[in-house]
Structure 1
Amino acid sequence: MKAVCATDLSAASEATIESETCLDCLGRIGVDELHLVTVIPSNVHAGMPGIDFETRRRRALERYRRVIEDAGFDVETHVVRGTPHRRINGVAETVGASLTIVGSRGKSPLENRVIGSTARNLARTTVVPLLVNRIERETEEPSVLREHLFRRVLYATDFSRNADQAFEAFQYLRHATQESTLVHVETPKDPGLGEGEDSESRLTELAGRLEEWDIETRTEIRQGDPAEEILAAEAAHEPTAILIGSRGHSRLRRLLLGSVSEDVVARANGNVLLVPPERTA
């Protein structure tokens, strides 16, 4: 499996790259080839005095390359110029990546939506699963907040087609997952439930699939605002990652990520694995 790891060469973005535990988790789910991507913004010009941005970035990526190769991965590096999220998505499509990874600082004391612009734009436009890896804030030497990326997974579902697709990520996550919590927030109209179906039986069916893989699984049904309840479940169970699907198939998705997914990606305390809708011809 190929993965793209986006870095702006900051101390925060180094955290995943230099964490042996994170790299081990990626290896467990089948990642064997990592593509390191750094983007020089379009408004940074090569002729700016005293700074050779491209050379500096290539040197930094080579240092990261050695760390990752020592961990047993094949590594390619890419220094590109343009709009960060567009170029990162472009590299992911070009190399045939199955996963994109981006670091994002955790919440600020103001508890507002502080997800970085690149991570937010990737969440809105990615065509492959996106791992938003939460990094410590307000420290000179930040580290990842949840080192074991997929050990304890909270899967949130509304039983929609895209939620079902997100569940299929367990096909590879199961090699690194020991515990899972399956959460459904009941709303007046559950879009994925057919006539005569109930949420409890659907969750039990999904739990049975995971237990066949020796994943210890619990189910939980909540009532209320979906985003708030998913975040409350995260606070209660402290998973290492939330697994959730993003919804929307039109061009509007580039402007407005589904509100539940957006809230979870922006406000979660830990990692979020966001699975986008399947592309159609």
Structure 2
Amino acid sequence: MKAVCATDLSAASEATIESETCLECLGRIGVEEIHLVTVIPSNVHAGMPGIDFEKRRRQALDRYREVIEKAGFDVETHVVRGTPHRRITGIAETIGASLTIVGSRGKSPLENRVIGSTARNLARTTVTPLLVNRIERETEDPDVVREHLFQRMLYATDFSQNAERAFETFSYLRHATQEATLVHVQTPKDPDLPEEEDPEAALEELAAQLEEWGIETQIDVRQGDPADEILAAEAEYEPTTTLVGSRGHSRLRRLLLGSVSEDIVARANGNVMLVPPERMA
């Protein structure tokens, strides 16, 4: 399994790369090869006097390479130019990555300019599952907020096809998952759940699958605004990662449900894993 790890070489993104526990979790789910990617923005010119941006970034990536190789992974490095989220997505597609990882400090607009905006743009456009690794705010030497990436999962579902695809990631996440909470937020219209079907029963069916893998599982059916209720569940259960599909129900509701996943990326206290729809051939 290959993963792309995007870094802007800030202290925040460095925390993701240098966390031994996070690297151990990636190994448990089957990641063997990590591609470190840093993007020099298009508005930074190679000819700016006294600064060799590409050389500096390659030197920084070489330091990160040593850390990750010591953890037992094969490592490739990429220094590219362009729009960060587009280049990151392009490399993920080219190498056939199964996961893209990006660090983000989260809520503060002032502290979330560079890698934060990249995380939000990747949430809209990613073609692979995207792990947004939450980093501490308001400190010069930040660490990851929750080290054990997949130990306690919060899975939010609207019973759409893409939510089912997100659930399928447990086929490999289960090797690092001990506990899971399955959440459904009822709204006035749930087009992908037949009227006669009980959401609690549907969650129980999913829970049974996880319990067969030895994952301790509980369910929670809520009512209200999807993003608000998912974030409330995160605050209550304190998962290490919240797992959601990045799109839901139908094309007509795509923008609405896309905004829910983006809202969760921006406002969640812990890590968030987004699973995009399957690409049409």
Give me the TM-score of the superposition, normalised by structure 1: 0.95
- What amino acid maps onto 2:182 in structure 1? L
Whether contact under 8 Å (1:114, 1:266) holds in the other structure is: no
Q: Taking structure 1 as reference, are residues 88 and 257 closer, same or farther at Cα in structure 2, changes over 3 Å only?
A: farther
Which residue matches 2:14? 14
Which residue matches 2:164? 164
Deviation at 1:250, TM superposition (A): 10
2: CA distance, partners of 1:7 / 1:71 = 18
What are the ranges of 5 or more consecutive residues in structure 1 without an aligned counterpart? none
Say whether residues 1:37 and 2:53 are aligned partners: no
Computed over aligned residues only, the root mean square deviation of the Cα atoms, in angstroms, reads 2.4
Q: Taking structure 1 as reference, are residues 18 and 140 closer, same or farther at Cα in structure 2, changes over 3 Å only?
A: same
Q: Taking structure 1 as reference, are residues 210 and 250 closer, same or farther at Cα in structure 2, changes over 3 Å only?
A: closer
Which residue matches 2:247? 247
Deviation at 1:120, TM superposition (A): 0.6
1: CA distance, partners of 2:113 / 2:9 = 23
Q: In structure 2, the residue corresponding to 1:116 is in which secondary structure?
A: helix
1: CA distance, partners of 2:108 / 2:61 = 29
Deviation at 1:248, TM superposition (A): 6.2
Deviation at 1:184, TM superposition (A): 0.4
Query: 1:95-134 residue pairs with structure 2 within 5 A?
Result: 95-108=95-108, 116-134=116-134
Which residue matches 2:135? 135
Tell which deviates more after alignment, 226-235 or 241-250.
241-250
Q: Taking structure 1 as reference, are residues 263 and 2 closer, same or farther at Cα in structure 2, changes over 3 Å only?
A: same
Give me the TM-score of the superposition, normalised by structure 2: 0.95
Q: What is the aligned residue count? A: 280
- What amino acid maps onto 2:38 in structure 1? T
Deviation at 1:255, TM superposition (A): 8.1
Whether contact under 8 Å (1:106, 1:114) holds in the other structure is: no
2: CA distance, partners of 1:192 / 1:132 = 27
Q: In structure 2, the residue corresponding to 1:136 is in which secondary structure?
A: coil
Q: Percent identity among equivalent residues?
A: 83
Q: In structure 2, the residue corresponding to 1:174 is in which secondary structure?
A: helix
Which residue matches 1:229? 229
2: CA distance, partners of 1:206 / 1:115 = 34
2: CA distance, partners of 1:79 / 1:113 = 20
Q: In structure 2, the residue corresponding to 1:219 is in which secondary structure?
A: strand
- What amino acid maps onto 2:207 in structure 1? A
Moved over 6 A (4+): 112-115, 248-257
2: CA distance, partners of 1:242 / 1:48 = 42
Which residue matches 1:27? 27
Q: In structure 1, the residue corresponding to 2:175 is in which secondary structure?
A: coil
Tell which deviates more after alignment, 233-242 or 258-267.
258-267
Which residue matches 1:274? 274
Which residue matches 1:59? 59
